[in-house]
Amino acid sequence: MLSRIAEALYWMGRHVERADTTARILDTYLHLLPSGAWKSENLVLRELVETMSLAPEMPRDPELLIRALVFDGDRPSSVSGALIAARDNARGVRDVVPTEVWECLNVTWHGLRTRGSGSAGPHTFLRWVAERGAMANGLINQMMSHDEGWHFMRVGRSLERADLMVRLLASAAQSSATPWRALVTATGGFEPYVRYYGRNMGRRSAFAFVLLDRNFPRSIYRAMSAAENSLAQLDSPANMHQDPRRDPSSARRLVGRARTTLEYRSGTEIDDDLPGTLTTLQRAIDNAHVAITKSFFHQGDPVTWSSQSSLAGHSVTTIR
């Protein structure tokens, strides 16, 4: 597969996941926080934005902040901007992705013209984005051959999901005002959590669920496992020694090491060193992206973040 096509598919997976997950997080925090809290002190929402690196130049006014995060298509870090970027990447590889996937993203892009005006409010728009993201991912999984292209897309989606979940946990850990139900609901996991843990929701069980759950597909452990499995498929022996500057195994090793730090640890052990665990995971995800870029996409050095990486450079933030 041409590196240009592989890179477009990888970023397509990341952008679809970014729009979907960011929409779910913002919608939850706007509606489950204490009534009017985000409009008055704006503290929790601002902490969320800063921890998730949703661009440092965001406006301070809460109304303008929400519009910039949700509706501003000129900002790559916004929900609308991610959808536009996903469609642009799909357009460049239309001969590789199924027609149904392209049509889904293209229809979504056209829908931004009417729904992205903000006239119906952020809740209606964010719910629509989450539905379109789920539809796109469903079509990708069900209509696309699970070949190299699908694995590149899956790696992108999984790393983006893990990164956003780590940042969400970091925001919740640093804020004393975040209700644990908001944290779990923002991941889309409220019902699965209740079935497993019951309705008594606390800090330790909420963090353990999002970090370690083996069955919930949006947990960090499952996302890292999916990325590792797809990188194993892409780490073909036939490609191992074609270029001494490339090491297809490097990203897999980074992701695998990060996953094993979660696999054999209990929720209590994680909670005792949560800041260190989250910082380690975030650094591993960022380093894995750099390794993927160097091994599969770009020729030579230096390796820099693609301009498509819009979460303020995905900078590694020490989590206190």
What's the rounded Cα separation, in Å, for the pair 256 and 242? 23
According to DSSP, residue 293 is labeled: I
pLDDT of 11 above 60: yes
Please count the other Cβ atoms lying within 10 Å of the Cβ belonging to residue 262. 18
Instruction: Assess if residue 134 is contained within a domain.
Output: yes
pLDDT at 57: 64
Query: Over the stretch 227-247, which tens digit does the pLDDT of each residue have?
Result: 999 999 998 655 444 555 567
Instruction: Assess if residue 320 is contained within a domain.
Output: no
Query: Over the stretch 96-126, which tens digit does the pLDDT of each residue have?
Result: 999 999 999 999 999 998 886 666 678 889 9
Instruction: Assess if residue 301 is contained within a domain.
Output: yes
Query: Residue 289 — pLDDT band, cuts 50, 70, 90?
Result: very high
Instruction: Assess if residue 319 is contained within a domain.
Output: no
Query: Over the stretch 62-84, which tens digit does the pLDDT of each residue have?
Result: 677 788 888 888 887 789 999 99
The answer, yes or no, to whether the previous bond of 275 is cis (omega within 30 of 0) is no
Instruction: Assess if residue 39 is contained within a domain.
Output: yes
- The rounded mean pLDDT for the chain is 82
Average pLDDT estimate for 255-277: 86
Instruction: Assess if residue 219 is contained within a domain.
Output: yes
pLDDT of 85 above 60: yes
pLDDT at 51: 61
Could you tell me which residues come within 8 angstroms of residue 150 by beta carbon, excluding any fewer than 6 positions away? Answer: 9, 140, 144
What's the rounded Cα separation, in Å, for the pair 161 and 182? 17
Percent pLDDT > 70 in the chain is 77
Instruction: Assess if residue 64 is contained within a domain.
Output: yes
Tell me which of 212 and 1 has the higher pLDDT: 212
What's the rounded Cα separation, in Å, for the pair 219 and 212? 6
Instruction: Assess if residue 247 is contained within a domain.
Output: yes
What domain range includes position 193?
A: 3-314
Structure-derived torsion over alpha carbons of residues 289, 291, 292, 298, reported in degrees to the nearest 10: 110
Number of domains in the chain: 1
